[in-house]
Amino acid sequence: MIDFAQRIFLRNSALLFVLSFAFPVAPLCKAQEVSAPTIKVDVSRVNVGVIATNGHGNFVEGLQKSDFHIFDNGVEQPIAGFLANDDPAQVVIMIECGPAMRLFGKENVQKADALIARLAPQDRVSLVCYSSGPQVMFDLSSDHSAAQSFLDGMDFSSGSGDLNLSESLLVVLDRLNSVAGKKTIVLISSGVDGAPPVDSSLFQARISASEVRVLVVSTSLAFKKFPKAHKHDLDEREARAKVTQAFKEADARLHSLAGATGGHVYFPKAAKDYQKIYAEIAQIVRHEYNLAFVPPVPDGKLHALTVTANHAFRIDHRQAYLAPSASAN
Interval 78-82 mean pLDDT: 93
CATH number attached to the domain at 46-86+287-328: 2.60.40
Taking phi over 0 as left and psi of -120 to 50 as alpha, with beta for the rest, 311 belongs to left
pLDDT at 86 over 90: no
Cα–Cα dist 188/111, whole Å: 11
Query: Pick from 117, 257, 110: which is nearest to 184 by CA?
Result: 257
Q: What are the residue ranges of CATH 3.40.50.410 in the chain?
A: 2-30+87-285
**What H or E segment, with its residue span, contains residue 4?**
helix 2-11
- pLDDT tens, position by position, 246-286: 888 999 999 988 888 888 899 988 888 988 899 888 888 88
Handedness of CA 57, 220, 123, 145 (dihedral sign): negative
Q: What is the pLDDT of residue 226?
A: 55
**What H or E segment, with its residue span, contains residue 247?**
helix 234-261
Query: Pick from 216, 208, 146: which is nearest to 184 by CA?
Result: 216
- pLDDT tens, position by position, 17-65: 443 333 333 333 334 444 434 434 444 788 888 888 888 777 888 899 9
- String of DSSP letters for 159-217: --S---HHHHHHHHHHHHHTS-SEEEEEEEE----SS--SSHHHHHHHHHT-S-EEEEE
Cα–Cα dist 21/25, whole Å: 10
Q: Does the structural domain 2-30+87-285 have CATH classification 1.10.8.420? A: no
152 phi and psi angles, rounded to 5 deg: -65, -25
Handedness of CA 206, 212, 215, 219 (dihedral sign): negative
Percent of the chain past pLDDT 70, that is, above it, reads 79
CA distances for 307 relative to 73, 78, 211, 286, 290, angstroms = 11, 12, 15, 20, 11
- pLDDT tens, position by position, 151-170: 988 877 665 668 899 999 99
Cβ-contact 257, 318 below 8 angstroms: no
Cα–Cα dist 316/258, whole Å: 10
Q: What is the pLDDT of residue 294?
A: 93
Higher pLDDT, 287 or 169: 169
Cα–Cα dist 240/99, whole Å: 20
Q: What is the pLDDT of residue 4?
A: 35
- Alpha carbons within 13 angstroms on the beta-carbon side of residue 111 total 21
CA distances for 237 relative to 21, 228, 234, angstroms = 20, 12, 5
**pTM for the whole structure:** 0.74
Query: Pick from 323, 327, 248: which is nearest to 45 by CA?
Result: 323
Average per-residue pLDDT for the chain: 79
Q: Return all residues near 119 (Cβ < 8 A) that are at least 6 apart.
A: 89, 91, 125, 144, 282, 285, 286
Q: What are the residue ranges of CATH 2.60.40 in the chain?
A: 46-86+287-328
- pLDDT tens, position by position, 17-30: 443 333 333 333 33
Q: Return all residues near 58 (Cβ < 8 A) that are at least 6 apart.
A: 283
Interval 87-110 mean pLDDT: 82
Cβ-contact 134, 34 below 8 angstroms: yes
Interval 238-246 mean pLDDT: 78
Q: What is the pLDDT of residue 225?
A: 63
